[in-house]
Structure 1
């Protein structure tokens, strides 16, 4: 029997295209100190002058319940019109984005991310639980990160895992 705890999809935005890469080490350290449980993570880097961002899933941080490339590909495809990580973005994107809304990732959240993640910036996307928020926030504050997040209820996280199980 697998227990799924309510989680948080958190997005940390950085004002440089390398900030998120630097933050990965901080996230690893927080996880090693048991101050946060990382279920899945991905980085978006958008170099100044580039037409689209580069993305990568952080498989070395992902836990047993990782959502996988399909989820990240869909999310990043909707955000940046970049099909990646194995997700086919096409005619069904409207229906799929509607299903994201059902799991707590709504149009307001998507629009906020589109507005904030632009050329010359980067972002760290993390699905977590059991975070000691004051300690996590302090660590990321020192990296000059801007916190954008959407909380997922237990039911929403379960639905998300079910929809994107690989």
Structure 2
């Protein structure tokens, strides 16, 4: 089973610091991570900035599309307005097809706000405790979406298109 985890930090730089820790663990083969991205939202900015973690092995088109779709639905579509309501519904349905429910999207949207940051990690569910232990000093909030084996496989199939 796979997991899409979101680790929320109380500062705009918290996710970048955690990304460095994650990269060290992955480089040392202490845990497997499919892919990860950061979101940093500086106070006073209208929207967050995003970044990929360099050197991730999961940088195929399907995962890139997943991040674009997921981060777009969470952070950017709500800012555009009602004109794209139908598109938003279609995108949300695509996310639900791979096990990412509206409740998860709304929770992330409510929790990752100006002055905070988040690290989004796509990894096997078995590494969540290792990641939690590595980030313990920074006391992140964990927002979690567990995916079945079928949903995990469907992510690449749905977003490869």
Query: What's the TM-score, normalizing by structure 2?
Result: 0.86
Conserved? CA contact 1:39–1:63, under 8 Å = yes
Q: 1:130 to 1:79 in 2, by over 3 A?
A: closer
Alignment correspondent of 2:32 = 37
CA shift digits 1:126-155 (9 cap, x unpaired) = 101264443322111112211111111110
Q: 1:1-166 residue pairs with structure 2 within 5 A?
A: 6-63=1-58, 67-81=62-76, 91-129=86-124, 131-165=126-160
Write the distance in 2 (CA, Å) between the matches of 1:71 and 1:134.
24
Query: What's the TM-score, normalizing by structure 1?
Result: 0.83
Number of equivalences? 156
CA RMSD after TM alignment: 2.2
| CA apart distance, 1:29 | 1.8
Query: Structure 1 regions of 5+ residues with no counterpart?
Result: 1-5, 83-88
Alignment correspondent of 2:80 = none
Structure with a larger share of its residues in helix: 2
